[in-house]
Amino acid sequence: MRFRHPDGTTVHLAYCTNVHAAEQLDGVLDQLTEYAEPVRRRLHRDRLGIGLWLARDAARTLTDDPAAVRRLRTGLDRAGLEVVTLNGFPYQGFGDEHVKYRVYRPDWTDDARLDHTTDLARLLTALLPDDVHEGSISTLPLAWRTGFDAEARHRALTRLHTLAGRLDALEELTGRSVRVGLEPEPGCTVETTADAVEALTGEGGPPPHRIGVCLDTCHLATAFEDPAKAVAALGEAGLTVVKAQLSAALHAEHPQRPEVRDALAEFAEPRFLHQTRALTPAGTLRATDDLDRALAPGALPTEGPWRSHFHVPLHAPLAEPLRATTPVLRAALTHLVGGPTPLTRHLEVETYTWQALPPGLRPTTRAQLADGLAAELATARDLLIGLGLKELP
């Protein structure tokens, strides 16, 4: 979906396909007709943007075979789909029954991460619509925090420098620009926007014209960051918001109450990591790596609210006593694209946890999932129109 900002800039809105568990190219192609095209039809659009996730094996198939790239491009065109952004965070196995910490491997200390991201950038230049000359890729924020020392940081930043050089060369070769955004996430070495500023503008930081930030509004909310201050700090540091992922976290205002804890427990599940943060009356944060750990007696203080990294659907309010952090999403979007000029041109709805939701909220058919994805995009569309952007044909 494309929108015209009042200043004339085109802003792209997509949904991220990491909600679909396909590791091979054939599975990716099936997703286009089984989910993405039905979502487009539900929205009555001739063209729909998707934020494509290509796992390692699918990406290698495409990079090894130009005919496979043409096949994918043809599949996108036939389904009325376009790609301007890729989700390069999960490397492989994102649809496995137990993902948890494995989603952070390989990290940016490993050449495998550099090479995979390079492959994605090359593929993106071949997939961009003919009238679009800039693409974006989101990636993990260097590494998970455990064991990440000064030497590991140096290795990670060195690889980002190498990536930036490769992206410069790719633009010279293709005439198309690709930028990569580190996605701050709770528990990682870059957890907050302040961490991103420190990592990317400190000693050894990579070139800012290529490497910026992917701002995920669920992660922003989980860390209890103020959207206005976060966006302003990135701008003051000279960092670009390469893309923004529109998402919402779980919020529990009174975690000491038994009914609240029971409601939270329904979201504790074995597939993904749901980092949880407690805001103390003193304004400090206490943390656990997962929601089930937070619910253990005494694990977190209960005098203030909790937020958990669980991407909940954007369009449907949660039942009391829980709620979603959609106010953070709305505020972030206001500061990103509601001003005189947009601070990012790529927006991506990223609710990858549909199949991890409690049974009563979980879709049981393909049609129900397509309904939900379309409803999320419609919600994002309405927010953008409310900010003065105009939906384009």
Evaluate whether residue 289 is within a structural domain. Answer: no
Q: What is the pLDDT of residue 364?
A: 96
- In Å, what is the CA distance from 231 to each residue of 28, 191, 276, 331, 343? 34, 15, 23, 10, 9
Helix (H) or strand (E) holding 285: strand 285-288
pLDDT in tens, 130-163: 999 999 999 999 999 999 999 999 999 999 999 9
Instruction: Name the domain count of the chain.
Output: 1
Confidence of residue 196 (pLDDT cuts 50, 70, 90): very high
Evaluate whether residue 179 is within a structural domain. Answer: yes
Evaluate whether residue 94 is within a structural domain. Answer: yes
- In Å, what is the CA distance from 220 to each residue of 24, 197, 229, 277? 32, 14, 11, 11
Q: How are the residues of the chain apportioned to helix, strand and coil, as percentages rounded to the nearest 5?
A: 40, 20, 40
CA 21 – CA 18 distance, rounded (Å): 7
Evaluate whether residue 77 is within a structural domain. Answer: yes
- In Å, what is the CA distance from 21 to each residue of 5, 94, 200, 270, 301? 34, 7, 32, 16, 36
Coil, strand, or helix at residue 227?
A: helix
Q: What is the pLDDT of residue 68?
A: 98
Coil, strand, or helix at residue 95?
A: coil
Evaluate whether residue 255 is within a structural domain. Answer: no
Q: What's the mean pLDDT in 368-377? A: 98
Cβ–Cβ under 8 Å, residues 206 and 157: yes
pLDDT in tens, 310-358: 999 999 999 999 999 999 999 999 999 999 999 999 999 999 999 999 9
Evaluate whether residue 215 is within a structural domain. Answer: yes
Evaluate whether residue 314 is within a structural domain. Answer: no
Evaluate whether residue 44 is within a structural domain. Answer: yes
pLDDT in tens, 44-78: 999 999 999 999 999 999 999 999 999 999 999 99
CA 309 – CA 102 distance, rounded (Å): 16
Domain residues for 126?
A: 2-248+323-391
DSSP for 20-68, please give it. Answer: S---SHHHHHHHIIIIIHHHHHHTT-S-EEEEE---HHHHHHHHH-HHH
Joined together, the tokens standing for residue 75 give 């599949």
pLDDT in tens, 276-307: 999 999 999 999 999 999 999 999 999 999 99
Cβ–Cβ under 8 Å, residues 341 and 324: no
Cβ–Cβ under 8 Å, residues 325 and 384: no
Q: What is the pLDDT of residue 108?
A: 98
Confidence of residue 32 (pLDDT cuts 50, 70, 90): very high
Cβ–Cβ under 8 Å, residues 353 and 362: no
Q: What is the CATH number of the domain that holds 28?
A: 3.20.20.150
pTM above 0.95, yes or no: yes
Q: What is the pLDDT of residue 66?
A: 96
Q: What is the DSSP letter of 96?
A: S
Q: What is the pLDDT of residue 204?
A: 96
